[in-house]
Chain A
Amino acid sequence: MKKVFLISVFVSLLVSCGVYQLQKSEGVSVGVTDLDSDNSELIDMVAPYKNSLDSTMNEVIAISDMEMSTGSPQGLLGNWACDLSLEIGNEHYKEVSEFEADFSLLNNGGLRTFLPEGEVTRRKIFEIMPFENELVVITLSPEKTAELFRFIAAKTVKEGNRKQGVPVSSNIELYIKEQLPVNVLIDSVPLKGRNYRVITSDYLANGGDNMSFFLNPVSYEKLGIKLRDAMLVHCERETKKGKALTSNLDKRIMYVN
């Protein structure tokens, strides 16, 4: 009997694999709540920052008549922010220009939380508008202006989440049918084939939130005031006048059948 030994060498075929084989995996979300721990290590780290902030942020700077949220076709918060931006923006514009801006436009995504009914602290305004965006005046050609209203109509839904809908100032009347603008009035006058001056934030003016109609405008003028500061000025003014903050849903953006 002859014995033959065959020697075969197994070369690693699976060099790309590690040594450990994954047998099971699963994932959950765990709620972060008070675990009744005595540990205050991080609270202690935060304390000096918190104390410095609280002294200014906890101040009640206005009273609001209502809770305001963003929405589509309109939301109370977006309407409020656009109206005060047009008013305060134009006050600043007057100092550098012989013109007045025609209307204002912001975005719902930039208004980060709702405004509560009752006491409004400086902190709340920072939470609504945490970004350092400045107000600017953009002069748009007739074509770009038409594009702006088409953009709003396309983005506006009858009942949407906070990311939908585009807030504008109260002097606009935009009628939408099947996601298209069927009629636009500004200060009760139908849209004309002229340039329009729009107050918005520099974030949107630079094409943010896909607002490409703002790019390459006829002119781009800075107003030297942040959107958040405009909100703070508005709050302080209303309080000084003894008035509460208020907003309403009107005819600025509407669906027609």
Chain B
Amino acid sequence: MNTKNDLILDINNLVVHYETVEGTVQAVNGIDIQVPHKHTLGIVGETGAGKTTTALSILRLIPDPPGIIKGGEIFLEGEDILKISEKKMRKIRGRDVAMIFQDPMTSLNPVHTVGAQIAEVVQLHEGLSRSEAIKRAGETLEMVGIPAERSTEYPHQFSGGMKQRVIIAIALACNPKLLIADEPTTALDVTIQAQALELMKDLRNRLGMSMIMITHDLGIVAEVCDDVAVLYAGRIVESGTVREVFKSTMHPYTEGLFNSLPVINDKGARIKPIPGLMPDPIELPEGCAFHPRCPYAFDKCTKETPELRYFGETHGVACHAYDQTGFKLKRRG
């Protein structure tokens, strides 16, 4: 395992709730995440599993009210960012940790040129003069494959894929140590997705960043990530290296995710979706949150919440089924 010093990000037992009129939304219920330097972690889960909430808490940008970080610690290079002042936090945002948002169409301010938007971040964090910042903006655009001359153009003059490149450029303008990408390719079409991913991979390797890739696309995880954490109802149900989770899947939910994918070399195969829906996060079922949809569920699952247990050094699974000796998922059977 990695020692504490190697970690850029270390989240311990993070709990985030949204307190609304209808009740308390239990978005994140005790998550542990470790990201070593120069590693990429994929966070996978359905809509509403708590992926974005986790990402926003790393930047301390949970909308408050109604969101409240109930407990836990988030260490960024050894410093607990939940305890520092807002002013200090602003210095970290954009400089140490940058975020790429889901929709490139709305993430850019329509009334400023793209160059000005990149320059703004640089000016904010590095105290460069306006002209130096503009020059730097041009260089950053070149880095993501857009000619520097286009920095005087407005977002509406760019296509979706180009806008996503601009957003990547803004995020990378200050050489962040950690890049959080929240479904960066969801709004793009498939060919552009591949380009954007390729670009992000390339830049990550060149700049030596760590990255958190939030997605519901297992293909992207396989493509880009080193480690993966599968989220269900605000908890990690399975985590490990990509190889461990993909090749020796252990959690019934992860198995369900893989069964929901079409298989390319078996044309007759039917997709087997997971039955049912994500539970309402206001009223999570008792015990394991997945038990109402789980084909392997037994008594204990309805009563006790399973803890993450480790098989091997890095492969963690939260499932009671492994209490039974010799238990194996059907997929691997």
A and B assemble together? no
> B residues touching A (Cβ–Cβ < 8 Å)?
none
Query: Which A residues lie at the B interface, using CB under 8 A?
Result: none
